[in-house]
Amino acid sequence: MRTSQSPAQAGARRAGARCIGRMLPSALPEEPATRPTPALSAEGAARRGTLFRLVNHMHRTGILGGDGTLDRLEAQNALQKQAYVAQRLGVPLGYAFEFMDNGAFSAGLAADIYYRMCAAGGTEPFAGDPASSGAFARLVGGMGAYWLQVTTFALDGRHAGESRGEFVDRVRRTNPEYEKAMAGQVFDHVGDCLAGTGGMAP
């Protein structure tokens, strides 16, 4: 049985319905759908292909173990750092990285992780460049999360021409959780690993 409403209650109900309607997606102005151009689609497919060829490379060379899943947040975070290192060593991944308090991060890479099954195409990492392949293995193989994070800072610092002291001070300001001694060790380790390679990519 329906109950009667006063004019005030009915008015409030109608006003509430109008407010809810304004918040629903169907009530919002429609924007024209945008589709990626064939060139952008091909570029994205090649980028993802190169990324997951890199993952395969890390499995083949023993850098990565386990089942290769990227469903865990820890694995995704590690891949962010590994990809930054690989890109600095010349693998043409094409990601734009920003530096957060835990090192290098790319929103584009995070999105591409969800396309991990679309690995057709791309570029084979370190093809014909055993020196950079070896440097990559030494830089990321068996390293923990903090070490990988600081490694991305160290590569960025060395690329910018920072001294060891400048680097350690910057990293400590960025994230005080990084120990001074460890930051210096990572900086030195990066320098040792880069020796004998062709240097870093832009």
Question: Is residue 27 predicted with pLDDT exceeding 90?
Answer: no
Burial of 24 (0-12, 13-18, 19+ CB in 10 A): exposed
The SS3 of residue 78 is helix
| pTM, two decimal places | 0.66
Question: Is residue 4 predicted with pLDDT exceeding 70?
Answer: no
Distance CA 54, CA 39 (A): 23
Confidence at 128, pLDDT banded by 50, 70, 90: confident
Token code pair at residue 4: 């009667």
Q: CA neighbours within 13 Å on the CB side: how many for 188?
A: 7
Question: Is residue 195 predicted with pLDDT exceeding 70?
Answer: yes
Confidence at 19, pLDDT banded by 50, 70, 90: very low
- Supply the pLDDT for residue 80: 95
Question: Is residue 130 predicted with pLDDT exceeding 50?
Answer: yes
Terminal-residue alpha carbon distance, the chain: 74
Tell me the DSSP string of 25-75.
GGGSPPPPP----HHHHHHHHHHHHHHHHHHHHHHHTTSS-TT----SHHH
Confidence at 28, pLDDT banded by 50, 70, 90: very low
- Supply the pLDDT for residue 41: 77
